[in-house]
Structure formats: structure tokens, C-alpha cells
Amino acid sequence: MKEMLTTMVLLTVFLWYGCPDRNSVNSFSSPSPSRTVESVDLVMANSPSPSPSPSPVPTRSQAKITSIKGGPICQDYILQKVAKEKTSASKLARLRSFNTKDKTLSQDLVKWLETADDRKLAVFELRSGDKKALILSSRNVEATGLASNLEYWYVEIEGNSTVFQSLSKDPFLIFWGKDGLLNYWVIDYSDEFVNDKDWDNITLDLEHFVLDSDGNSQLMKEEKYVKCK
């Protein structure tokens, strides 16, 4: 009887201390997979989306360069086109007297004059029948870098105005076309030249614009990556 009692005590101790607790095992288990997935999804959601890469400027080997005979900036070449495109009624005259302080000047012109070099100011009037355009050219005193080489133009027709810059100083690149609209050509450095600035291989863009009835500039044609000679 005593031995049986001892055996029962030992069995009770074994059952109490010998078996591992299921709750203890679970308390040391790895984090739940669902929480890990949520964390990854959160990181992905907060990660900034990649921005699109800007279009690369063509290199000299990629750009299709056209050689044109027409002077250092192809001005003679363009004047030949102008002679075919302008109306015979288009007449340009230089105004020797122009008051830049006139109170009746448009606000657009007053603003343009603020950045125009008054020492290099030239003023023209372009007529075709009863149509009239006021044209001014100078240099932009705020221009830097390559832009400092460009002529600064202002054209005003019946209260509408447009401003552009060009390598040409010739007002005859602005004319009344046979279509009855005011046309102008812009000569500018090409993106390829602006990118590498190879002064031994200057390439230009030649652009023909028309001012519509609302005074908005519309690009009609262009010749890109032109090498003038």
C-alpha cells in the first residue's frame, strides 16, 4: 500500500512538470505570415512611383544634319523663300521717331520695353493695304548665355502681340503673306548644339510661323539640325 502511494505521487509529478505547455510553445512561434505580407504591401504602397525619363537630346551622330548654302545663319536661303511667300503689297518702313514714353502704348509693349536695350532699339512699320503691324527689335538686357546672342523681337497687330527671339536682325524675315496673314521666320540654335556647344559645328533650326486672326503664333514648317554655309 505504501509503495502504491509512492508510485501515484511520482506519476502525478511527472504529469505536472514533464509535459510541455502548448501555450508556451505557441508564445514563441514566428510572426504570422499575414502580418508580414501586410508590411510588404505597405512599403510598396508608400514607395514613390518612378518618374518618366526625359526625352534625350540627339547627339551629333544621331541627328540628321542638313547642309544649306545661304550664309552663316542661312538668312539668304530664307529670304529666297520669303520672296516667294510674301504678297507684293507687303511694304516695310523704318520709323525714325518713336516715343517709348507714350502713354498710349499697349501694356504688352510697355512690358517688353522694360527688358529691351533702348540703345539698340529699332522700330518698323509693316503695311499691306489697310493692314498694319508695328515691329520692334533690340537685345534683351536680362538674357544670358546663348540667349544673349539672340535678337529680341516684338510684333503688334490690332492690339494682339507676339514676342520671339532669333539669331537674325533682319526685319525682312517678317512679312505679309499671300494668305493675308503676318508671317515670320525664326533662326535659333538646335537642341543638339545647345547640348554639346561645339562651336566648330554649329547647327540651327529654321522655323516659319504665321500669326492667326487671334494673334496666336502657329508653326507652319521647320527645318531642324541645319548647318549653314
Task: Concatenate the DSSP letters of all residues of 2-22 into one string.
Answer: HHHHHHHHHHHHHHHHSSPPH
**Beta carbons of 174 and 126 less than 8 angstroms apart:** yes
Q: Same domain for 27 and 80?
A: no
Q: Same domain for 77 and 34?
A: no
Cα Rg for the chain, rounded, in angstroms? 39
Comparing 50-54, 159-163, 165-169, the range with the smallest average pLDDT is 50-54
> Is there a domain that residue 54 lies in?
no
Q: Same domain for 187 and 90?
A: yes
DSSP code string of 28-64: TPPPPHHHHHHHHHHHHHHSPPPPPPPPPPPPTTTS-
Average pLDDT over residues 186-212: 95
Q: Give the pLDDT band of residue 67 (cuts 50, 70, 90).
A: very high
> Is there a domain that residue 178 lies in?
yes
Tell me the residue range of the domain where 139 lies.
Answer: 66-228
> Is there a domain that residue 76 lies in?
yes
> Is there a domain that residue 56 lies in?
no
> Is there a domain that residue 207 lies in?
yes
Residue ranges of E strands in 74-147: 91-94, 122-128, 131-138
pLDDT for position 10: 40
pLDDT for position 58: 56
Average pLDDT, the chain: 81
> Is there a domain that residue 23 lies in?
yes
> Is there a domain that residue 35 lies in?
yes
**pLDDT tens string 38-51:** 333 433 344 444 55
pTM of the complete model beyond 0.75: no
Q: Same domain for 30 and 126?
A: no
Judged against a pLDDT cut of 90, whether residue 223 lies above it is answered with yes
pLDDT for position 159: 85
> Is there a domain that residue 172 lies in?
yes
The domain tally of the chain equals 2
pLDDT for position 35: 40
Q: Same domain for 71 and 7?
A: no
**pLDDT tens string 96-114:** 999 999 999 999 999 999 9
Q: Which residues pair with 175 in a beta bridge?
A: 183
Q: Same domain for 117 and 212?
A: yes
Alpha helix positions (H), the chain: 2-17, 22-27, 33-46, 75-85, 107-114, 191-196
Q: Same domain for 220 and 114?
A: yes
